[in-house]
Structure 1
Amino acid sequence: MFILSLTYKKSNDEADRHMESHLAWVKQGYDGGMFLASGRKVPRTGGMILAKGERSAIEAYVAADPFALHGVADYEIIEVAITTALPQLEDLKG
């Protein structure tokens, strides 16, 4: 599993200008089965996405995010080997 941590490099106003296309990109990630959960950081300095799949595929998908394409946010991709989870989240274990 991967944690995709987005950190805004530009203002929230600039992020808002690209939010619709970013959210469409996020929806495609869910539709394709790559994304498991997502949301904003509090305070609003970026966001977070939980993802599954091959690292190379995730890296390629992240590069196509409108936030990345327009320099709105930097991504940190963190791989996590889940060893313990609630019973309903057992599928996350690798």
Structure 2
Amino acid sequence: MFVVTVTYTAPLEHVDPWRPAHGDWLNHLMSRRLLLMAGRQVPLVGGVYLVPRMPADELDRLLATDPYVVHGVARHTVVECTPLLVAAGLEGLKSQE
């Protein structure tokens, strides 16, 4: 599993025009279960995604298609983790290793 942080590299007035395309991109990934959660950082300096396990190079290719990245207004930082403890109802997130 991966935790991805998004950091804006441009002022919000340069990010905002790409927000609709970015939202469509997120919704498309959610519909394919390639993204489990997406949310805004507080304060609004970027976002956070929770991504299921996949090959790291596949994740890199996927993140490169983010409209924010394509248009040079954000960058991603990826942390891989192995879920060992989860709340009731979220057992599907636990590592099967």
TM-score (norm: length of structure 2)? 0.92
Shift of 1:40: 0.5
How much does 1:13 deviate? 1.1
Q: Secondary structure at the match of 1:48?
A: strand
Q: How high is the sequence identity, in percent, across the aligned residues?
A: 29
Structure 2 partner of 1:57: 58
For residue 64 of structure 2, what is the amino acid of its counterpart? A
What are the ranges of 5 or more consecutive residues in structure 1 without an aligned counterpart? none
Q: Residue 20 of structure 2 corresponds to which residue in structure 1?
A: 20
What's 1:44 paired with?
A: 44
Query: Post-superposition shift, 1:87?
Result: 1.8
Aligned residue pair count = 94
> In structure 1, what is the Cα distance between the partners aligned to 2:34 and 2:53?
6
The answer for unaligned runs of 5 or more in structure 2 is none
Are 2:11 and 1:11 aligned? yes
Question: Secondary structure of 2:5's match?
Answer: strand
- RMSD value, Cα: 0.8
Deviates further, 35-44 or 53-62:
53-62
**Paired residue for 1:31?**
31
Match in the other structure for 1:69: 70
What letter corresponds to residue 12 of structure 2 in structure 1?
N
Between the aligned partners of 2:58 and 2:94, the Cα distance in structure 1 is: 19
Question: Which structure has more helix as a fraction of its residues?
Answer: 1
